[in-house]
Amino acid sequence: MTTKNLYPIRYVSQRTGLTSHVIRAWEKRYKAVVPQRSPKNRRLYCEDDIKRLQLLKEITVMGQSMSQVAPLDSKELMDLAQRNVSVISRTPRVGKKPLQPAAASGYCKECLSAVLNLDPESLERSYDQAAIDLTRTALLREIIVPLFEEIGNLWRNGSLKILNEHMATSVTRTFLSNMLRATENPDPAPAIVIATMVGQWHDVGALTVALTAAENGWHPIYYGPNLPAEEIAAGVKQSGARAVAISITHLLTQQPLIEELRKLRRYVGKDIALLLGGRALEDHIQILEKIDAKYISNIEQFSEELNSLLIANGG
């Protein structure tokens, strides 16, 4: 099969302004485009696919539903886009600002409302639209992280049921996992192993870390939740990773967790950076320093640490 004038999903993402996750989601749910496949089963898109995705983005930003416009052919999409532009241009704008995508804070409120109303479809739609309008970094930093901070606060003060939290976690885990699978960094990218320790089943934070690592030019290897130190260390050895990032969301008891972290440090050796995050560790930073582990308090600090490691190791 010739691949002349066919483009990988990363190129299409740059051309259209859509994330790879949204492109895949539109393909899977709505058959918005049907890409060709390379011998290695990678998606390949032609110019017509790209133009169609650009039209679909333009139309949905104007307020049309993807489920309604995806079945239209490209000529019908063009006509619809032109009609929408005409209507917008004729609409009086005295005292009004031009149409703009909703701000991140607006999406965060929509997502929280969906969680409170136990509405997984609305939560998923809000995520998808936010992925179109925002950069991946903004999506993680300004929606996912604050949303789950608020969910945690509501749960702790008794204002939120476990059912709501489980629904939010399930939808978000799927959304982030799909986004992570769509991430393709070049083979020379340094590897970082990401997981949670034994007893740590909540992995939204770990998935957020994995996507942040990818955005900073690393190759994230995500092994999932509830892993003992020896299994994580085996993954580090197998992959040749330069760093390990561990998410800790809660402390059942302090001592067993600290012992697991000490074991992990022994197993991976002193040359591997050990980065630990999660609000549960805020009061134990001095203990972490004793095992040569670095506490990471937010996405920005994590990005800075990854960039420092790249510089220290020659890129």
pLDDT digits (tens), the chain, 315 positions:
455 688 888 888 888 888 777 888 888 888 899 999 888 888 899 999 999 998 988 888 777 778 788 899 888 888 888 876 554 344 444 443 433 445 788 999 999 999 999 999 999 989 988 888 888 888 999 999 999 999 999 998 999 999 999 999 999 999 999 888 877 665 578 999 999 999 899 999 999 999 999 888 899 999 999 999 999 999 999 999 999 999 998 765 667 888 999 999 999 999 999 999 988 788 788 888 899 999 999 999 999 999 888 877 655
pLDDT at 40: 81
**DSSP 8-state code for residue 42:** -
- Where are any strands of DSSP class E within the chain? 7-8, 36-37, 43-45, 191-197, 219-227, 243-247, 273-277, 294-296
Q: Give the Cα separation of 123 and 118 in Å (integer).
A: 9
Give me the phi and psi of 7, to 5 degrees please.
Answer: -130, 145
Selected from 2.30.110.10, 3.40.50.280, 3.10.20.90, 2.70.70.10, the CATH number assigned to the domain covering 186-312 reads: 3.40.50.280
Domain boundaries, the chain: 7-90, 104-180, 186-312
**DSSP 8-state code for residue 199:** T
39: its two tokens: 């011998």
Neighbours of 28 (CB within 10 A): 10
Helix (H, G, I), strand (E, B) or coil at 53: helix
Per the DSSP assignment, residues forming a β-bridge with 194 are 222, 245
Q: Would the pTM count as exceeding 0.75? A: no
The per-residue b/e assignment along 67-87, b for 16 or more CB within 10 angstroms, e otherwise, is: eebbebeeeebbebbeebeee
**DSSP 8-state code for residue 282:** G
pLDDT at 315: 54
Per the DSSP assignment, residues forming a β-bridge with 274 are 244
Task: Tell me whether domains 104-180 and 186-312 share a fold.
Answer: no
pLDDT at 187: 58
90: its two tokens: 């004729």
| CATH class in words for 104-180 | mainly alpha
pLDDT at 88: 39
CATH number at 7-90: 1.10.1660.10
In terms of C-beta distances under 8 Å and separation of at least 24 residues, what long-range contacts does 37-40 make, across chains too?
38/1, 38/3, 39/1
Nearest to 280 by CA among 197, 178, 157, 162: 197
Q: Give the Cα separation of 315 and 180 in Å (integer).
A: 22
pLDDT at 161: 95
Q: Give the Cα separation of 277 and 302 in Å (integer).
A: 9
Contacts of 195 (CB under 8 A, 6+ apart): 206, 222, 223, 224, 225, 227, 232, 235, 244, 246, 247
Q: Give the Cα separation of 295 and 311 in Å (integer).
A: 20
Nearest to 128 by CA among 35, 269, 18, 207: 18
